[in-house]
Structure 1
Amino acid sequence: MQSLGRVLIVAGSDSGGGAGIQADIKTVTALGGYAATAVTAITVQNTLGVTGVHPIPLEIVEAQARAVLDDIGADALKTGMLGDTAAVEAVARILDSAPRVPAVVDPVMIAKGGAPLLAADAVEAVKRLMVPRAALLTPNAPEAEALTGLPVRSADDLRRAGAALLAMGARAVLMKGGHVPAERVTDILMTSAGETLFEADRQETRHTHGTGCTLASACATGLAQGLPLTDAVARAWAYVQEAMQRAPGLGRGHGPLDHGWTLR
């Protein structure tokens, strides 16, 4: 019998429900897992963009995580929006308090509409503290460029940046190719043992809000349920592709996915 899979999500709240904690909870639930949360920030946003970010006091962020880990426990951790250097340091302490629990680190830096979600001076903290703690790191091309200083504009660039991130201490990296110009989207899962490609025709749609959060949470759910890494990523990738295709068309901007398609 497959494990339920307890996932502790440490990320920001999206009032529009398409990304952040809300997308994470929907994803974990849709894939049969159990989601618990430690909220790092409250954002004011919808499909048109982010108009406000209100950080949660760090002692409360850590207390949320501690309350979950001390009672319910976790089989995987997933991190998203962290905000600033102090928050990155606090979340690193959370990860260190559960060293045997694999962490899926989504290095969220910019919202779909372009609003910054990570302070510029916190990028170094992510490199120093989060990348080496990642069982799986899930950067898109701009995030990979920021973390490595390398240009990421082709599949070969994805590989070079992925190799650099592995050298920085990540145990596995899922290099996302959605921002790389091409008719087909290619994501590359890289580990010290080799690589696995995930490819599909590019979906021409504006309803892509929260794809990164959703993919990372889906990967974390698979790991929490005991799936091998490649199987967890493969299931997560297929889930996101279908969720994009079934997007309900909500909002006037970058709309959300259909996270609940598996339940219907």
Structure 2
Amino acid sequence: MTDTPPSVDLRTDEPHPARVYDFYLGGKNHFGADREFGQRILGICPQLRPLAQANRRFLARSVCLLARDYGIRQFLDLGTGLPTSPNLHEVAQSIAPDSRVVYVDNDPIVLTHARALLTSRPEGATDYIDSDVVDIDRVVQQAARTLDFRRPIAVSALALFHFLPDPQPADLLAYLRSRLAPGSFLTISHVLPALREVAKAYQGTMGLGTLRDRDEITALFGDFELLEPGLVEPYRWRPELEPGEQEPGDEIADLGACAVARKPME
């Protein structure tokens, strides 16, 4: 992706999911409408900010583990959102400079920031696909420009599937799992039903598809084998990989869950 992204109407007078999430993370890519909506949501659930931040640290820890301990050198990130350092490719390439990373999003806001996602180390590669993740066949075809689907790939979908109604997540993941090589990984994070009041507020403005319980989230992994410690809150997933980092603890218990799973070796 070398051309200048096309001009888009950012609609800065309306809150936008990617920018509101950036507000939760303490980023700078948001406007007054996003901050106003975000503050209203934090009034309903102030724990949403530490949950988002813990979710971001979970991404970094999971990528670190897969690159360092499992030798993964290919990553496919679905529903990327606005760039927030460290980005996935920064974590992966800090461990393995030859890592190849593909980001996927159909959000015009993210498209305008896509160049920040393409600053690969010369030994590796990054690419950005402007596509709806539901069109997973197109995503796979486009990702194959950068990734070799005959070899293991780590797919991540963080804070994504609760924006999609059933059966979309199950259908696209079933297709994706069938295309991934043995030894590939799938990383998912998802909010839990305890956030139903937040979901109602989002539905009135930006839409939130389906809140799923732990069993329903686990089912999205299909026959992939969950790594220890299984499906847990983001701050409970391998905190030893981030020594010295202060996690929020039980204040965000039962609000969100995450896991990493591996496709069995044939």
Q: Report the TM-score when normalising by structure 2.
A: 0.37
Q: Which has the higher contact order (CA 8 A, sep 6+)?
A: 1
Structure exhibiting the larger radius of gyration computed from Cα positions: 2
- Greater strand share, 1 or 2? 1
Q: Report the TM-score when normalising by structure 1.
A: 0.37
